[in-house]
């Protein structure tokens, strides 16, 4: 095959893209490669126009070798490549960073700098992108929804509610939406926050307003209600806080009625919120809900291989597979185990193999197993997960929203610390040891019958051991 066999430049580039498409993932092809075109071609040079600076930067950094190989195969000889960014009628900047912002203004700024400033203003981290998000059976639905939302915010799915246990990639996915929107849609205003930060910022605004400070509740509302895309991570932290729930409800309604995109993450589905106003949970359930499950063995291995390639570590595949088999809890612990093994090998000046990894991980597992967890830490984790107060769990009230968390606390205190029933009862408000025995037995029976109780126990343990 050679250049002369093509009737047009468009046909030549279509053939090049076809070769590239079979070499990379569909997601990368769609988000990067498919957004290019050949502007000109001569005997020595192909000029490739990229839709925006995001495409150009990723093509240069990660995929240019693959594209140049396809060009070489299609043209039948070596050709140099030159990348540039197109300037559309809306005045997006070309590769020199020049573009018109209006009749009274001009800019010489690098567009990547502008994107980074917007990212920081939106509280987003540049490390969370769709390009480095590993896709598998455990998260493919959540990923598909997230990419669709980033492509057309406010049009396809709204609101979006994504939930999973800790450490499985919720924050990565929700921030990837924000980063993609900022890079591809310059005029769209993105605001990212967490449930805890939203609460703290509201408290600060209320207190500041009372003290005639600088930050008022009006400014708080202006910040969140003027967003085009609102991303709220770990929304469970607003539970049990009446003022925060009220403000969140009105913020949600304002944006939803205006057709603005809302994306929310949590550690549990809306139906499992026991202390959240029904009008809010019904809003959560009015859109699309997706969960992220634990990664399987193949997924865990893929995550570690991506980590290896990113860090340029020399780690054999058999070591990757060993770590992936050994650590099956969540991605944070998986990457932590990988780092532990690599660091251990480097510190001892040894080549990493399965035996060395086993030694390094054995040390980590033993340290985790003997972690000194006290009953206060367990009580704090239970209260955080169920959004209840410690004083209420220790109190005498026996309403449903307290009985289950109280029994879970009893069960975990017994299982983790092996503390006597009598001591646990005294800690939990002076209860009789038979009450504690009944509570522990009740949770054990429910775990044998329902998957939800087992999952709740696993989630609380994650909070305990990851803090």
pLDDT tens for the chain, residues 1 to 467: 556 566 678 888 988 998 888 888 777 787 789 889 988 888 788 999 998 888 888 888 888 999 999 998 888 888 899 999 886 544 343 333 333 333 333 344 567 777 888 888 888 998 899 988 988 888 999 999 999 999 999 888 999 999 988 788 899 999 999 999 998 888 889 999 998 889 888 888 887 765 555 667 788 888 899 899 999 999 888 877 788 888 888 999 999 999 999 999 998 888 877 667 788 888 888 889 999 988 888 889 999 998 898 888 889 999 999 898 888 777 888 888 899 899 988 888 888 998 888 888 875 554 444 456 788 889 999 999 989 999 999 998 888 889 999 999 999 998 888 788 888 988 898 898 889 999 999 998 888 777 788 888 888 888 887 66
Q: How far is CA 287 from CA 155, 158, 190, 274, 306, in A?
A: 12, 5, 20, 20, 33
Taking the C-alpha atoms of residue 215 and residue 212, their distance in angstroms, rounded to an integer, is 9
Tokens of 273: 């919120």
Q: Is 170 annotated as a binding residue?
A: yes
Residue ranges covered by each domain of the chain: 3-85, 119-291, 297-356, 375-466
* HSE-up (13 A, CA, CB side) for residue 302: 12
Q: Is 167 annotated as a binding residue?
A: yes
119-291 shares its CATH topology with 297-356: no
Taking the C-alpha atoms of residue 161 and residue 283, their distance in angstroms, rounded to an integer, is 10
CA of residue 20 relative to chain centroid, distance: 28
CB 153 within 8 A of CB 204: no
**pTM greater than 0.85:** no
Using alpha carbons, select from 270, 269, 289 the residue that is nearest to residue 278. Answer: 270
CB 407 within 8 A of CB 440: yes
Q: Is 10 annotated as a binding residue?
A: no
Rg (the chain; Cα; Å): 27
Tokens of 142: 């959540």
Tell me which DSSP letter residue 407 carries: H
- Could you tell me the CATH superfamily of domain 3-85? DnaA, N-terminal domain (3.30.300.180)
Tell me which DSSP letter residue 291 carries: E
Q: Is 209 annotated as a binding residue?
A: no
Strand-strand pairing, 105-107 and 99-102? antiparallel
Q: Is the peptide bond prior to 159 cis by the omega test (within 30 degrees of 0)?
A: yes
- Could you tell me the CATH superfamily of domain 375-466? DnaA protein, C-terminal DNA-binding domain (1.10.1750.10)
CATH number of this structure's domain 119-291, picked from the four choices 3.20.20.70, 3.40.50.300, 3.50.50.60, 3.20.20.20: 3.40.50.300
- The residues near 357 (Cβ < 8 Å, ≥ 6 apart) are 319, 322, 323, 341, 345
User: CATH number of the domain at 297-356, please?
Assistant: 1.10.8.60
Taking the C-alpha atoms of residue 264 and residue 192, their distance in angstroms, rounded to an integer, is 10
């Amino acid at each position: 095959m050679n250049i002369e066999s093509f009737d047009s430049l468009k046909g030549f580039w279509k053939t090049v893209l076809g070769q590239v498409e079979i070499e990379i993932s569909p997601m990368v092809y769609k988000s990067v490669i498919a957004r290019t075109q050949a502007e000109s071609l001569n005997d020595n040079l192909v000029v490739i126009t990229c839709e925006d600076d995001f495409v150009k930067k990723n093509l240069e950094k990660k995929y240019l070798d693959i594209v140049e190989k396809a060009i070489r195969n299609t043209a039948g000889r070596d050709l140099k490549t030159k990348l540039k960014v197109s300037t559309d009628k809306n005045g997006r900047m070309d590769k020199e960073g020049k573009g018109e912002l209006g009749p009274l203004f001009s800019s010489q700024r690098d567009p990547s700098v502008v994107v980074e400033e917007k990212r920081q203003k939106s509280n987003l981290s540049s490390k969370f992108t769709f390009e480095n998000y590993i896709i598998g059976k455990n998260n493919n639905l959540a990923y598909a929804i997230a990419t669709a939302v980033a492509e057309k915010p406010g049009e396809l799915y709204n609101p979006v509610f994504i939930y999973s246990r800790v450490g499985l990639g919720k924050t990565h996915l929700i921030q990837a939406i924000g980063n993609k929107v900022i890079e591809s849609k310059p005029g769209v205003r993105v605001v990212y926050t967490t449930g805890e930060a939203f609460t703290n910022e509201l408290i600060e605004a209320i207190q500041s307003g009372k003290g005639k400070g600088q930050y008022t509740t009006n400014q708080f509302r202006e910040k969140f209600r003027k967003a085009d895309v609102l991303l709220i991570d770990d929304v469970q932290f607003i539970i049990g806080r009446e003022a925060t729930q009220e403000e969140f409800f009105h913020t949600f309604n304002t944006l939803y009625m205006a057709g603005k995109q809302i994306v929310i993450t949590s550690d549990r589905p809306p139906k499992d919120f026991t202390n959240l106003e029904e009008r809010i949970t019904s809003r959560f359930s009015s859109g699309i809900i997706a969960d992220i499950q634990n990664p399987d063995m193949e997924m865990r291995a893929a995550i570690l291989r991506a980590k290896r390639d990113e860090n340029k570590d020399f780690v054999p595949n058999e070591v990757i597979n060993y770590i992936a088999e050994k650590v099956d809890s969540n991605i944070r612990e998986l990457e932590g185990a990988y780092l532990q093994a690599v660091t251990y090998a480097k510190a001892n000046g040894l080549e990493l193999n399965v035996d060395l990894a086993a030694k390094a991980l054995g040390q980590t597992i033993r340290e985790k197993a003997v972690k000194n967890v006290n009953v206060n830490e367990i009580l704090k984790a239970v209260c955080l997960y169920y959004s209840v107060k410690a004083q209420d769990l220790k109190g005498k009230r026996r309403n449903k929203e307290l009985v289950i968390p109280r029994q879970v606390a009893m069960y975990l205190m017994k299982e983790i610390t092996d503390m006597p029933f009598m001591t646990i009862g005294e800690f939990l408000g002076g209860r009789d040891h038979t009450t504690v025995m009944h509570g522990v037995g009740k949770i054990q029976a429910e775990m044998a019958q329902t998957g939800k109780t087992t999952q709740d126990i696993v989630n609380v343990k994650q909070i305990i051991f990851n803090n």
